[in-house]
Structure 1
Amino acid sequence: MAHHPTFVSCTSLSFSWPDGTEVLDDFRLTVGPGRTGLVGLNGSGKSTLLRLLSGELTPSSGTVKVTGELGHLPQNLTLDTSRRVDEILGIDARRAALHAIEAGDPAEEHFTTLADDWDVEERARATLDRLGLGGIGLDRTVGEVSGGETVLLRLAALLLARPDVLLLDEPTNNLDRRARARLYEAVESWPGVLVVVSHDRELLERVDQIADLHDGSVTWYGGPWSAYESALAAEQEAAERMVRVAEADVRRQKRELGDAHAKLARRRRFAQKSYENKVVPKVVANTRRSEAQVSAGKHRTLHAERLSEARERLDSAVEAVRDDDEIRVELPRTSVPAGREVLFLRDLELRYGARVAGPFELRGPERVALVGRNGAGKTTLLRTIAGELEPLSGEREAWVPSRFLPQRLDLLADSLSVVENVARLAPGATANVIRARLARFLFRGARADQEVGTLSGGERFRATLAALLLAEPAPQLLMLDEPTNNLDMASVRKLTAALDAYEGALIVASHDVPFLESLGITRWLLIDGELRPTTAAEVRGTA
């Protein structure tokens, strides 16, 4: 029997959101065996493309073809918290059949369901153990595991299913360093077709090739992320050099066109003077003037065409240079005076076991990094401070207006536009004021009217951040939970720029140590059962 190569491809693929926002048009892509990193700016269509390839979305036109079974780990993973672990792994029916047979029930349907998969539980536990989830029982519910463990649980289900094609969308979101290391191992050992969308440099160093989605088409680069960065830098340097050459050519063509105009004017004046001074007969002067005008006119037309061509070359050269807009925003209303009490906690017993022993104070515009392993209680602590969860015991008091940005980015209404969502949080601001402020967050014109449900992960994050920072009253305590999830490298720089402008107190929970270090953190706190001070150096080994 002939062996058919495994691949996933799309031909003449087009897709637009219901509001008319176009994402892809006549798009083509074929990915074969090996590990492919799909990169591109937020909003370029990476996650949408994976959803189209997986069949979750239906294209407006074009076809998608997949040879073999396909598995998909989406970016915003939401699992029913009441479901058991074995259900998520897809082995609940086989487990039930196995247990029934072991209990002495000889019904035929049990053997049919089990299909000789007698070691189903052992394989499941081995897979969980491989991903660091060995302590999670198959009968536990999803609600009992952390966000990072949920991602690993879904990955474990995919590894057990052994699909031929695996699509991963930001799989390291919410994962601590140990969990990321396990995911890296799973990626490196994947035998089939693997396409991963990620902003994690370490993960992208483990791929065989990079597919760069830019302006609706893909450019391929051999090797991992570092090779891609080097190649892209060389391309951009060459593109910028071509812009300089094209600009010089445009200036030269403008000068030559100006010279052509001046030459035509001189010939006209010379012919007129010759006629007025009766140097030549009138008929001769008119002939010379006519000939001069025709000659100069052709000369001028030639230079005008050359100038037009030079401008076209300049436009093409400029298009080849990637322009990365930056958020530029001033937020003086968020300012907190040095020494002002912002937050007070005392003997706080949190749900799921973590605690804050004794008194804890946050004063002035401090910048606190909250670190710890998956499931240690970082999100629980932030939600408790934000008032979303009640502590089991202890005191909690925030003395300034505060806002919390959760991992799931579920603060905005999908059916409303970016402008309408911001207006809900700032009811006293006029539409013109809101639009002017949103433009600083790179939502200009029609982009501000786009429905939130059609935004990419990075765009949605930027819209949520804008809504929080532009809210009334202005937040003087801002809490962020894994804010670099779903963000490409350029968007992380934009986030850093926005937070540079923030003048209030900041608490950021993250596993992304380089990002935390870029924020000017004044205090590092580790939560592992209890909250205690730590250092950046210690975090690099434990975060």
Structure 2
Amino acid sequence: MAPSTTTAILCTDLSFEWPDGKPVLEGFHLAVGPGRTGLIGLNGAGKSTLLRLLAGRLTPTSGTVRIGGEVGYLPQDLALETGLRVDEALGIRAQREALHAIESGDAAEQHFTVLGDDWDVEERARAALDKLGLAKLDLDRTTGELSGGEAVLLRLAAVLLRRPDVLLLDEPTNNLDRSARQRLYEAVSSFGGALLLVSHDRELLQYMDQIADLRDGEVTLYGGNFAAYEAAVAAEQETAERLIRNAEADVQRQQRDLVEANVRLARSASYGKRKSAQRNDPKILAGAFKRKAENTAGRVRGLHAERLAEARERLVAAEEAFHEDAEIRIDLPRTEVPSGRTVLSTENLRLSTGAAVKLELRGPERIALVGPNGAGKTTLLRTIAGELRPLEGVVNTISATRYLPQRLDLLDDALSVVDNVKALAPGIGDNLVRARLARFLFRGARAEQPAGTLSGGERFRATLAALLLADPPPQLLLLDEPSNNLDLASMRQLTESLESYRGALVVVSHDAEFLRRLGPTRWLRLDESGLAPVDPL
């Protein structure tokens, strides 16, 4: 059955597992109509896998996928070949060559076959590039000079040029600077077909018509944008908590009633036995009384046991309805920096990119560092951390400085989470390390997992734990795009962790909402002219 005119994407009893037998989706169902749908869920829930199935990049183990029309798909972390021309990246080089040949007088049939009805291909390509802020790109230019953000927007332009009916986007704002994000937001808001995107970008999710929450292999649809979704989930959670409290009280009541019923039945049986002995009832009559009492007791016990089982079932159902995305709860008093203490200063600093930078941090300041891609933000952090040598000048920092790079490569994959933390805090005992890791949601066997087996969100949490629990504790923390590739629950856990951090903080991010939640004391912008204060985004 093909999708109806109101259904653009239809998954029926869809299942998929990896070659090693690990299941991702089982008996999955989804129906999405025209409009913009934001797909959210925990890391590892199967969001990217689902998009690859919809795009035909993966084959389902079983079940069906039906798409109403042409599909355009933009995967995350898509790299461009450096020698590729812009028109090749857009997929129109052959049409352009055919068009130019015809315009020069070559009427060979193959040129008309290649071009088809696409006589305005160059005009459409330039219009698509202009819409995404790439009007300066020459179609004959190679892509090697493009920034990461420009490369993503160019790939999006290539997808939109094919005029898809259904557009699939997987974390499209990763690594985009602020201006590139804004252009992508505008492209998403103006798309007229059916859009399904995976994103943790709260601002992008505000442009959605509905939110699809993928949890435990099932999707729940919520009408409205992300703010409406949060309000709806908060109301659901409040109801679920109330049902849990009521169900727990009911279980306790039924347990108490069952105990009281057993006591009454025992007393009644004892009383009946004494009365029968006093009357000197014949054995056959006493046996009949006993059997009758036992049958009655059995029915009473069965009734109360049944009520208790039903109460427990209601409790389980109420608990399953409650989404407990666990919270990180930590206290980091040893990271505190006295007000006025200098934690970072530069002297005549010139980065390897050529930018001149003058920067000083005092006390527990929080700096939001923004700027276009390629401006040197990562270079600045790595220079402060001592990983790169500047062209000129000096960086002075306190000794307790820690740097979290985008790559999350601080952990030794062969070591457990516990041993990775102990490597940065060798003077802290094993029991104390485990107790502190529990606050980061690594309890029991989870703390013994090798770092190489962790999911993306778990790896980030373990890396953050290793940094914040280091000895000496960091009093200057440098974070480079920490929110990239984190699901919304992990994003919340990150901000919770940083709320407990009492030292100085420098954070590079293109995610304005995330930065605002951290409560920066200063916003600085780095570009080719250097470092300068800016108004909050």
Q: TM-score, normalised by structure 1?
A: 0.83
Give a deviation string over 1:148-188, Cα, whole Å, max 9, x none: 33332222221123233211122233444443333232222
Gaps of 5+ in 2: none
Aligned pairs, how many?
A: 533
1:58-457 → structure 2 map (5 Å cutoff): 58-81=59-82, 83-95=84-96, 117=118, 119-138=120-139, 142=143, 144-275=145-276, 278-281=278-281, 283=283, 284-331=285-332, 341-350=342-351, 354-356=355-357, 359-387=358-386, 389-400=388-399, 402-407=401-406, 409=408, 419=417, 422=420, 426=424, 438-444=437-443
CA-CA distance at 1:438 after TM superposition: 4.8
Query: Residue 471 and residue 299 in structure 1: after superposition, are their counterparts in 2 closer, same or farther (change >3 A)?
Result: same
CA-CA distance at 1:296 after TM superposition: 1.8
- Structure 1, 98-107 or 34-43: larger mean CA deviation: 98-107
Distance in 2 of aligned mates of 1:453 and 1:153: 34
Q: 2:43–2:455: 8 Å Cα contact kept in structure 1?
A: yes
CA-CA distance at 1:147 after TM superposition: 3.5
Distance in 2 of aligned mates of 1:340 and 1:419: 33
Q: 1:172–1:200: 8 Å Cα contact kept in structure 2?
A: yes
Q: 1:68–1:165: 8 Å Cα contact kept in structure 2?
A: yes
Q: 2:425–2:469: 8 Å Cα contact kept in structure 1?
A: no
Partner of 2:485: 486
Distance in 1 of aligned mates of 2:219 and 2:443: 26
Distance in 2 of aligned mates of 1:473 and 1:265: 65
Q: Does residue 1:10 correspond to 2:7, yes or no? A: no
Partner of 2:499: 500
Query: Residue 309 and residue 183 in structure 1: after superposition, are their counterparts in 2 closer, same or farther (change >3 A)?
Result: same
Partner of 1:539: 536
Distance in 2 of aligned mates of 1:142 and 1:382: 27
Distance in 1 of aligned mates of 2:200 and 2:328: 19
Query: Residue 300 and residue 497 in structure 1: after superposition, are their counterparts in 2 closer, same or farther (change >3 A)?
Result: same
SS, match of residue 328 in structure 2: coil
Query: Residue 237 and residue 334 in structure 1: after superposition, are their counterparts in 2 closer, same or farther (change >3 A)?
Result: closer
Partner of 1:27: 28
Whichever residue aligns with residue 462 of structure 1, its letter is R
Query: Residue 135 and residue 417 in structure 1: after superposition, are their counterparts in 2 closer, same or farther (change >3 A)?
Result: farther
Distance in 2 of aligned mates of 1:95 and 1:123: 12
Whichever residue aligns with residue 133 of structure 1, its letter is L
Query: Residue 170 and residue 532 in structure 1: after superposition, are their counterparts in 2 closer, same or farther (change >3 A)?
Result: same
Distance in 1 of aligned mates of 2:338 and 2:436: 24
SS, match of residue 536 in structure 2: helix
Whichever residue aligns with residue 281 of structure 2, its letter is P
Give a deviation string over 1:304-348, Cα, whole Å, max 9, x none: 121011111111111111112012345566565655554333333
CA-CA distance at 1:88 after TM superposition: 2.9
Q: 2:40–2:211: 8 Å Cα contact kept in structure 1?
A: yes
Whichever residue aligns with residue 242 of structure 2, its letter is R
CA-CA distance at 1:129 after TM superposition: 1.7
Give a deviation string over 1:67-117, Cα, whole Å, max 9, x none: 543222223334445544444323345456666777898887666655565
Q: 1:333–1:474: 8 Å Cα contact kept in structure 2?
A: yes
Q: 2:425–2:472: 8 Å Cα contact kept in structure 1?
A: no
Query: Residue 417 and residue 130 in structure 1: after superposition, are their counterparts in 2 closer, same or farther (change >3 A)?
Result: farther
Give a deviation string over 1:366-400, Cα, whole Å, max 9, x none: 32111234454433433443455554444345443
Whichever residue aligns with residue 493 of structure 2, its letter is K
CA-CA distance at 1:539 after TM superposition: 2.0
CA-CA distance at 1:299 after TM superposition: 0.5
Q: 2:168–2:197: 8 Å Cα contact kept in structure 1?
A: yes
Q: 1:89–1:153: 8 Å Cα contact kept in structure 2?
A: yes
CA-CA distance at 1:244 after TM superposition: 2.9
Distance in 1 of aligned mates of 2:184 and 2:522: 30
Q: 1:329–1:501: 8 Å Cα contact kept in structure 2?
A: yes
Query: Residue 22 and residue 480 in structure 1: after superposition, are their counterparts in 2 closer, same or farther (change >3 A)?
Result: farther
Distance in 2 of aligned mates of 1:451 and 1:33: 44
SS, match of residue 269 in structure 2: helix
Give a deviation string over 1:423-467, Cα, whole Å, max 9, x none: 796595999887665543334566567787886654453344345
Query: Residue 239 and residue 328 in structure 1: after superposition, are their counterparts in 2 closer, same or farther (change >3 A)?
Result: closer
Gaps of 5+ in 1: none
Q: Report the identity percentage.
A: 63
Q: 2:203–2:513: 8 Å Cα contact kept in structure 1?
A: no
Q: Does residue 1:43 correspond to 2:44, yes or no? A: yes
Query: Residue 114 and residue 384 in structure 1: after superposition, are their counterparts in 2 closer, same or farther (change >3 A)?
Result: farther
Query: Residue 467 and residue 83 in structure 1: after superposition, are their counterparts in 2 closer, same or farther (change >3 A)?
Result: farther
Q: 2:3–2:9: 8 Å Cα contact kept in structure 1?
A: no
Distance in 1 of aligned mates of 2:83 and 2:419: 31
Query: Residue 351 and residue 74 in structure 1: after superposition, are their counterparts in 2 closer, same or farther (change >3 A)?
Result: farther
SS, match of residue 249 in structure 2: helix
Distance in 1 of aligned mates of 2:87 and 2:471: 45
Give a deviation string over 1:478-499, Cα, whole Å, max 9, x none: 2222322333443222101112
Distance in 2 of aligned mates of 1:20 and 1:437: 35
Distance in 1 of aligned mates of 2:120 and 2:164: 19
Two-structure CA RMSD over aligned residues (Å): 3.9
Q: 2:166–2:194: 8 Å Cα contact kept in structure 1?
A: yes
Partner of 1:516: 515
- Structure 1, 48-57 or 215-224: larger mean CA deviation: 48-57
Give a deviation string over 1:208-230, Cα, whole Å, max 9, x none: 33222121111223333343334
- Structure 1, 475-484 or 59-68: larger mean CA deviation: 59-68
CA-CA distance at 1:351 after TM superposition: 5.1
SS, match of residue 539 in structure 1: coil
Whichever residue aligns with residue 311 of structure 1, its letter is R
CA-CA distance at 1:264 after TM superposition: 1.0
Distance in 2 of aligned mates of 1:323 and 1:507: 31
